[in-house]
Amino acid sequence: MDMLWNGWGDPARATPLPDTVTGLLRELLGVQPREAAAVPLEEIDVPASPLDEAARRALEDAVGGPGHVRTDAETRIRHTRGKSTPDLLRMRAGDTADTPAAVVLPAAHEEVLAVLEACAAHGLALVPFGGGTSVVGGLAPARRGGFVALDLRRMNRLLDLDETSRTATLQPGLRAPEAEALLAERGYTLGHFPQSYEWATIGGFAATRSSGQASAGYGRFDEMVLGLTLATPEGTLDTGRAPRSAAGPDLRQLVMGSEGAFGVITSVTVRVRPVPRVRRYEGWRFASFEEGAAALRRLAQDGPRPTVLRLSDETETLIGLAQPDAIGASLTRQDAGCLAVVGFEGTEEDTTHRRAGAADVLRACGGVLVGTEPGERWAHGRYSAPYLRDSLLEAGALAETLETATYWSRVPALYAAVRDALTGTLTGAGTPPLVMCHISHVYENGASLYFTVVSAQGDDAVAHWTRAKHAANEAILAAGGTITHHHGVGTDHRDWYVREAGALGIEALRAVKRSLDPAGLLSPGVLLPAD
């Protein structure tokens, strides 16, 4: 099944907004119903593909026949942009400026190399396309029109499972649930559960240094990766000969986070763990975000480490965003304070032990156990929030998220700076927002902050949000945060990434790009400025 082309996920799972939320939108935020309905797929006017006959034949030869080179309007629309709110707003308006010339579906590493050769011969740019869930403009290159979207869905096999070493080698086009199902047959799990889990792919996770909701226990995706194969216009780069090595800088780190700009990831070797026998999620309540953050820090630094550890601020707790299936329910209960979701996965003995130790720490930090219900509700609704965003857009609201990370000592200042930037910009533009935040990932030395913003759309919703987002980006850099903790750079964060990495850092990365992709075919303008 394909994902909804101008929204999120499975159309059958559309989630209407509860009355409490609709009322809140109208009364608190002044949201007005949309005047223009979304343009239906069949009415979108897509310009004819600029692919000429010779280029088409070369691409067909590369992937074993015409069935795997698609230039029909619907396929091209379905590979236009990703799933950020501006992406969805543009799709709903029928804007096809970023539509690829063709969608090409290779089945093997050698076919990817052949496609790259064909693109080089015919002057076509190429953008790797995994699940299409990018929220940073990673699928919309600077070269409009003449580019190929390389859809990796046919590369969806488990290539190897080494049970002695506990590693698995996966093809990049496997969606996360497909990868988990293949591993579960043999008793293993990857443990990577981002909110985009149901649609995003193994290659996409590696390319963007993704981080999942159980990162406290399983680590970020880039911590799970042991080896990668990269197909580039200059040949194949193989990394990961041993789990750890002192043989020079770690080339795996050059591939991870390269977002398609250095090559196409064609296989990923990851660490796997036994499927947990026990999963237990519970809720803890703290008087304030500050108090809860201190408790999370204690656990992250001194343990015992839960598998899932997240903390909503006061506004997010009140709205109930941590439990999307019951959103709005806390409004009537007027719940106070901040909710933390704390989860444990593993064996009975291990989870019992860690849970008891963590409870002692949380209690000592002022936390009150509120039972398993909030944890179970979070677990049940953990992939539902993106459906609510579609309903919010349909209702005329603007809803978007952004994320960053910093060291523990800077968390309070970063939190305040981003909230102020978003609130100030949107209020100044006449659409006061609701700004919610949670600590989404914790480390010994710091944490990530994940913000959700809801407001009225203003006259031009894309321009309206872009102004607020730019103000937040400036606030992040000024407060010492990173421009992205897990969404990646894409095109949206590129100009701030250039400032974060510094001139020398960017020049070093450009030199890498020049050696792997001298003609600049790969994702021009993504990650690095286009030449």
Ligand X SMILES: Cc1cc2nc3c(=O)[nH]c(=O)nc-3n(C[C@H](O)[C@H](O)[C@H](O)COP(=O)(O)OP(=O)(O)OC[C@H]3O[C@@H](n4cnc5c(N)ncnc54)[C@H](O)[C@@H]3O)c2cc1C
Q: What is the number of the residue whose Cβ is closest to ligand X?
A: 204
**Does an H or E element contain 187, and which?**
none
**Does an H or E element contain 211, and which?**
none
The three-class DSSP label of residue 218 is helix
Cβ closest to ligand X, residue 214 vs residue 362: 214
Tokens coding 356:
């008891």
d(CA 471, CA 478): 11
341 Rama sector, left if φ>0, alpha if ψ -120 to 50, beta otherwise: beta
Cβ 126 to ligand X shortest distance, Å: 9
What length does the chain have? 531
Q: Which of residues 61-120 bind ligand X (CB under 6 A)?
A: 82-83
Q: With 0-12 CB in 10 A as exposed, 13-18 as middle and 19+ as buried, what is 261? A: buried
Is residue 386 part of the contact set for ligand X (CB under 6 A)?
A: yes
Cβ closest to ligand X, residue 51 vs residue 264: 264
**Does an H or E element contain 310, and which?**
strand 308-312
d(CA 384, CA 370): 23
- Pick the binder of ligand X from 200, 379, 421, 426 (CB under 6 A): 200
Cβ closest to ligand X, residue 25 vs residue 206: 206
Is residue 452 part of the contact set for ligand X (CB under 6 A)?
A: no
- Pick the binder of ligand X from 71, 210, 269, 455 (CB under 6 A): 210
Q: Which of residues 111-150 bind ligand X (CB under 6 A)?
A: 127-135, 138-139
d(CA 529, CA 515): 16
**Does an H or E element contain 174, and which?**
none
Point out which span in 118-126, 407-415, 483-491, 493-501 binds ligand X (CB under 6 A).
483-491
Point out which span in 98-106, 258-266, 457-465, 506-514 binds ligand X (CB under 6 A).
258-266
Find tokens 């000024």 and name the residue.
Answer: 478
d(CA 84, CA 133): 8
Cβ 65 to ligand X shortest distance, Å: 22
Point out which span in 25-33, 41-49, 73-81, 202-210 binds ligand X (CB under 6 A).
202-210
Tokens coding 201:
């792919």
- Pick the binder of ligand X from 252, 355, 464, 487 (CB under 6 A): 487
d(CA 484, CA 91): 24
- Pick the binder of ligand X from 195, 391, 425, 455 (CB under 6 A): 195
Is residue 447 part of the contact set for ligand X (CB under 6 A)?
A: no
Cβ 217 to ligand X shortest distance, Å: 15
Cβ closest to ligand X, residue 257 vs residue 337: 257
| Residue of 450, 448, 468 whose CA lies nearest to 398 | 468
Instruction: Provide the H-helix boundaries in 313-347.
Output: 314-319, 329-333
Cβ closest to ligand X, residue 140 vs residue 365: 140
Size of the site for ligand X (CB under 6 A): 38
- Pick the binder of ligand X from 24, 89, 152, 256 (CB under 6 A): 152
Residues at the interface with ligand X (CB under 6 A): 8, 82-83, 127-135, 138-139, 152, 172, 194-196, 200-201, 203-205, 207-208, 210-211, 259-260, 264-265, 386, 486-488, 523, 526
